[in-house]
Chains A and B, each alone.
Chain A
Amino acid sequence: MTERTKKVKMLSPVMKRNNMIAVQNRKTITDSKLLCINLISSPGAGKTTLLERLAERLGGRLAVIEGDVQTSRDANRVNRAGSYAFQIETGGSCHLDAGSVSEALQEMKPFRDEWEFLVIENVGNLICPSGYFLGEHITAGMLSLPEGDDKIMKYPALFTRIDTLLLNKIDLEAQLRFDLKRAENECRSLNPDVSIYRISAETSQGLDELIRYFESERTQVYS
């Protein structure tokens, strides 16, 4: 018997297992012709308020997965506004992963025929959710004006990855010194193909355009 050392070259992304489950999620979502959006922002940026406004407009066409640390408050809000909402209680976790979404999808079955859009409200956090692909078609990052126009460069991991930037609380523009052009330019400098929408979940400004964007993305995916 001799003491031996072995070295195994792996070069494996630690997200490998997450991403494999995410690919299965994508298949489940695609089989039902849903367009899936992963909505990420800091706490209080307005994710649930936006979902309430979308629920009022889309009703039965929208299904929502809520990732709340505790309580099912956000799911109840979306429900009252007119759309189906499924609650994942993350039990303290700072992000959703593909596995928890996969379990939610199983429990949501059978999917309703009328569903066209599935929005996943991620846990309020600009850092932790940014590495976890859930199977979505569109990763949307929301930044609200009161948070400040310097946040894009402070959280590059998220803002280089998103497909869509939602600048929310645009109704407060007059009261705040938020340089919209600066934020938009900084986001494009990290992420040249990002699409950007200025919205107010409070006054519904910009929401018709946002819904048209989701509709046209869905048409593209399933045509």
Chain B
Amino acid sequence: MHELSLAVEVIHMAEGELVPGFSLKRITLSVGMLSSVNPDSLQFCLESLLEQKGHRSVQLELNRIEALLLCRDCGIQYKTADVYEPCPGCSSFHREVLSGRDLIIDSVEMTGEE
């Protein structure tokens, strides 16, 4: 259940971007396939915390990001949602994970009057 600590950090980071007089409207996140983050659980934690902290009707967009692998045998890079799959080029299992481990805040949107 580390999603709760992640949600706390996401909101802390989003609030850090807020311009005075504006309120949070949307948070967009990329959840890497290999980040060991459960998107549903993260969404639930975010919704609960946002409400608790008085942020009303913030839209959450969580996008699952496939892992990017590099085949050590034939050298191609490929994306996959399923690490059980071998290299599509040469069927090798000899590969390296290049990305897909991170949870990233892509953007924060806010509304206000000025």
- The interface of chain A, by Cβ under 8 A from chain B, is 1-18, 93-95, 97, 127-128, 130-132, 153, 156-158, 160-161, 185, 188-193
Contacts and interface: CB of A to CB of B under 8 A. Distances in A.
A151 B35 CA distance: 17
Contact of A131 (B35, B94, B107, B112): B35
Interface of B: 1-2, 5-6, 9-10, 13, 17, 19, 22, 25, 29, 34-37, 72, 83-84, 93-97, 101-114
B114 A2 contact: yes
A93 B8 CA distance: 14
Contact of A192 (B9, B22, B72, B113): B72
Given A3-B112, A12-B105, 12 more contacts: A1-B114, A3-B113, A5-B109, A5-B111, A8-B107, A14-B13, A14-B103, A95-B2, A132-B2, A189-B94, A190-B95, A191-B97
A127 B111 CA distance: 37
Interface SS, A side: mixed
A153 B83 contact: yes
B2 A131 contact: yes
Given A130-B36, A131-B2, A157-B35, A7 B102 contact: no
Contacts of B84: 153
B107 A10 contact: yes
CB-CB nearest 5 A-B residue pairs: A189-B93, A157-B36, A128-B2, A1-B113, A14-B103
Contact of A10 (B5, B108, B111): B108
Contact of B103 (A15, A130, A156, A192): A15
Contacts of A11: 104-107
Contacts of B96: 191-193
A6 to B, nearest CB: 5
Contacts of A132: 2
Contacts, number: 109
A3, A13, A127, A191, most chain B CB atoms within 10 A: A13
Q: Which of A1, A16, A156, A161 has the most CB of B within 10 A?
A: A156
B106 A6 contact: no
Contacts of B17: 8, 10
Contact of B5 (A93, A157, A185, A193): A93
A130 B33 CA distance: 13
Contacts of A97: 5
Given A5-B25, A130-B36, A10 B106 contact: yes
B104 A8 contact: no
Nearest to B34: A157
A2 B113 contact: yes
A15 B102 contact: yes
B80 to A, nearest CB: 11
B36 A128 contact: yes
A7 to B, nearest CB: 5
B100 to A, nearest CB: 9
Given A3-B113, A17-B9, A160-B97, A8 B108 contact: yes
A95 B37 CA distance: 13
